[in-house]
């Protein structure tokens, strides 16, 4: 595999990637003895701010704090997520959910859950403001008839 391909894809093929133990901090565990494992699927974003993992967990209840943005898709099993507001989400295979940086949640895994997580480390607020100012300045200097859309590659005719 080329160096570029290795940078983009850590896992190719129909078999599941090797999962490695990734224990939870014991202070976060509220009930049970959940065993968590992780496999890195990719860490090849061009700005080094995104990566994709496969994660699984056995039965238990624990608190979680999101230090990054995470969108995940449940592949197998189920989890009940309770937000600090008391809002409850029962997520099963086929469900997806987004947690923004700074979000907290309580996870209740009754038996087992496996997910793919698409993780992104957002820009700091200062860098974000500078980026928005740069884009605004660029629009003034190089006006365009229609805004570029990042999802264009997924559009259908």
CATH code, domain carrying 19: 2.60.120.10
Which pLDDT band holds residue 35 (cuts at 50, 70, 90)?
very high
Q: Which residue has the higher pLDDT, 92 or 18?
A: 92
Same domain, 131 and 103: no
Percent of the chain at pLDDT exceeding 70 = 73
- How many distinct structural domains can be found in the chain? 2
My answer on whether 135 and 59 are in the same domain is no
Distance between CA 119 and CA 136 in Å, rounded?
27
Q: What is residue 140's predicted lDDT score, i.e. its pLDDT?
A: 77
150: containing domain:
125-154
CA distance 6 to 90: 36
First vs last C-alpha separation in the chain: 35
Q: What is the largest CA-CA distance in the chain?
A: 59
pLDDT for position 122: 72
Do residues 110 and 133 both lie within one domain? no
Which residue did the predictor score with more confidence, 120 or 34? 34
Q: Are 64 and 129 found together in one domain?
A: no
Look at residue 139 and give its three-state secondary structure: helix
pLDDT(150) > 90: no
């Amino acid at each position: 595999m080329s160096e570029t391909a290795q940078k983009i894809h850590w896992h190719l093929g129909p078999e599941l990637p090797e999962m490695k133990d990734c224990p939870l901090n014991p202070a976060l565990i509220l009930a049970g003895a959940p065993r968590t494992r992780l496999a890195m699927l990719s860490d090849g974003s061009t700005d080094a701010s995104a990566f994709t993992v496969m994660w699984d967990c056995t039965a238990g209840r624990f608190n979680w704090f999101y230090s990054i943005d995470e969108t995940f898709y449940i592949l197998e099993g189920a989890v009940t997520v309770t937000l600090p507001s008391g809002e409850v989400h029962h997520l099963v295979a086929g469900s997806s959910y987004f947690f923004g940086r700074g979000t907290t949640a309580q996870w209740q895994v009754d038996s087992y859950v496996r997910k793919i997580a698409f993780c992104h480390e957002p820009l700091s607020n200062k860098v974000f403001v500078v980026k928005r100012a740069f884009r605004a300045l660029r629009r003034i200097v190089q006006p365009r008839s229609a805004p570029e859309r990042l999802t264009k590659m997924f559009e259908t005719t």
